[in-house]
Amino acid sequence: MKLTISVSPHIRRDISVKRIMYTVSLALIPALGGAIYFFGLRALYLTLISCASAILAEAFAQRIMKRKITIFDGSALLTGILLAFNLPVGSPFWIPVVGSAFAILVAKQAFGGLGYNFINPALAGRAFLMASWPTIMTAKWSAPVLPLGATQSGISAITNATPLGVIDLYANNSIAISQLASNNTLTKLFFGSVGGCLGETSVLLLLIGGIFLIAIKYIDWRIPFSYIGTVGILMQILYKFGITPADGIFHILAGGLFLGAIFMATDYVTSPITHKGRWIFGAGCGIITIVIRIWGGYPEGVCYAILLMNCLTPLIDKVVKPKKLGEKK
């Protein structure tokens, strides 16, 4: 009898890194189509520029560092798409170039390349752009319709504001706040006809891609579920106590929560490897998002929440490390 000796894991799936990356990119196509529909062809141009910049930056870094060129494995392409999805449609075309270069050169290749980065590259690129050009990243919104769906309330100047931005700007305006909880506003948040970044506005289209990835077991449902659930439940509690003017349903539909929870918090490299660790990771992202949204200087907190929890991933893996076979306390 012939025996084959190998190291674990002994049960494997015929899935390559390349296949995973291109499949996740495919799952983002519905959201990209929605971005083009809502914001026009400029959304497509920004995405293409971002992808091309990420791929070229990857090739440049690997050539300089004398590493194997792996620009066709799909990882740089995915980074470019995700970075573009975190940009407002009014961004100048050089913004995705700079953001993609930072994401690839600094957040990814400087630490060894794919599999060695400790934070999500696309979110690192967004954070860099936000810190460097906050006016461009926050003042270039363009909504296809009024986010609150009203022009008679005396707040028509907020045409280009994001729904989360409305809370900060008009927290004391009872008319504006009442419209946040209206069925009309929640419907627009779900389908995507609101102001925001390119790929974050349509919850429906993001869910289509997310459910597809969960169904084929390319991502674990625990992180998105715990992340979104934590935000929804705690925001509803804070709403009941009058700490936030918007309820939990509004907060899970508004902003980039679904984009971050489904497509970036689930990154294999920067998220925990155990089931328990993923519950902790998702809940931690949710809590930090809430703190930033309510008490922070930005109306959105998804980007920084995921980046901060990325830094805690090694600690989480260490704390919830499963016992070895036969080990006793």
Q: Where are the domains of the chain?
A: 17-139, 156-319
Here the tokens at position 164 are 């989360």
3 state DSSP class of 88: strand
The string of pLDDT tens digits covering residues 156-184 is 333 356 788 777 676 666 776 777 778 88
Position of tokens 């999500």?
A: 120
The proportion of the chain whose per-residue pLDDT surpasses 70, expressed as a percent, equals 85
What are the two backbone dihedrals, phi and then psi, of residue 88, each rounded to the nearest 5 degrees? -70, 150
Query: Is residue 50 within 8 Å of residue 99, measured between CB atoms?
Result: yes
281: which residues sit within 8 A by CB, 6+ positions away?
Answer: 223, 226, 265, 271, 272, 309, 312, 313, 316
CA-derived radius of gyration, the chain: 20
Q: φ, ψ for residue 131 (rounded to 5)?
A: -75, -30
Residue linked to tokens 């075309």: 93
pLDDT at residue 154 in the model: 33
pLDDT one-digit tens code per residue, 66-99: 999 999 999 999 999 999 999 999 899 999 999 9
Per the structure block, which two tokens stand in for 307? 């980046």
d(CA 234, CA 237): 5
The CA distance from 221 to 215, in Å, is: 9
> What backbone phi and psi angles, to 5 degrees, belong to 243?
-80, -30
> What local confidence, expressed as pLDDT, does residue 155 receive?
31
Maximum Cα interatomic distance, the chain, rounded to a whole number of Å? 83
Nearest partner of 184 among 250, 127, 118, 122, judged by Cα: 250
The tokens describing 45, both together, are: 């141009």
- Helices 17-27, 203-215: crossing angle, 10 deg rounding: 150
Q: How many CB atoms lie within 10 A of CB 298?
A: 17
pLDDT at residue number 183: 85
Q: Is the pLDDT of residue 111 over 60?
A: yes
- Sheet strands (E) in 134-177: none
Rounded to whole angstroms, the Cα distance separating 83 from 220 reads 22
Q: What's the average model confidence in pLDDT over 247-270?
A: 94
Q: How far apart are CA 307 and CA 286, in angstroms?
A: 12
* Cα atoms in the 13 Å half-sphere on the side-chain side of 185: 23
For the stretch 259-297, pLDDT in tens is 999 999 999 999 999 999 999 999 999 999 999 999 987
pLDDT of residue 16 exceeding 90:
no
Phi and psi torsions of 198, nearest 5°: -55, -50
The answer to pTM > 0.75 is yes
